[in-house]
Chain A
């Protein structure tokens, strides 16, 4: 079963704008990860944030984690058409033995 929810379900923006999506989860976690999926292909790992971290940056990506609220956000700055994809959060729970629980995903469309 899915760990939590993501919002929005879909996001349409123009190139150059920022895209923000949120993820909520239910159980204690070791870390939370964000993945990108283009057109139903394989997933690409974007960034991982550990449970003792609050914010992390990687290039145009910024991830925050609030363990008290069991929520995370992914910000993509200065979006490009190539950022068009589905974005999933996934939690690595404390007792999961490496199993990931995925959120429902946010479909992002960036128009030129």
Chain B
């Protein structure tokens, strides 16, 4: 299955600033997924990132707040913009294991963000 390197693992940021999270996959994948996990909660999908096209955002998430880049088939970034304490969460990227459906998903190790 794919291996994902996610950076940074954690950060403490001032409100009003932005943080960019990176995910590097060791194989080419068509779709990458970005999730948010608020404290004590489950995972919620933010957006799906396809190489060569605009990311598709889920209800409640907008591009201005969470811009995503997908410059090639092994890399993606998620930026959390103009942060507030409510953005304090774990952010995770994910890809389909084996590059196709029916084989589960591989997740990055997560970025624990604290906004003060």
Contacts and interface: CB of A to CB of B under 8 A. Distances in A.
A67 to B, nearest CB: 16
B6 A42 contact: yes
Interface residues of B, number: 29
B77 interface: no
Given A97-B48, A98-B31, A45 B112 contact: no
Interface string B39-67: 00111110010000000001100000000
Give the most central of A1, A42, A88: most B CB within 10 Å: A42
Interface string B104-116: 1111111010000
Binding site secondary structure of chain A: strand
Interface string A92-112: 100001111111110000000
A42 B96 contact: no
Binding site secondary structure of chain B: strand
A99 B108 CA distance: 16
Give the most central of A31, A45, A104: most B CB within 10 Å: A45
Nearest to A44: B107
Contacts of B92: 42-43
A48 interface: yes
Interface in A9-27: none
Contacts of A35: 107
Contact of B103 (A1, A48, A105): A48
Nearest to B112: A40
A1 B60 CA distance: 10
B42 A88 contact: yes
Nearest to B108: A42
Interface of A: 1-2, 30-31, 33, 35, 40-45, 48, 50, 88, 90, 92, 97-105
14 contacts: A42-B92, A42-B108, A42-B109, A43-B92, A45-B97, A48-B103, A88-B43, A92-B101, A97-B31, A98-B48, A100-B33, A100-B105, A102-B44, A104-B42
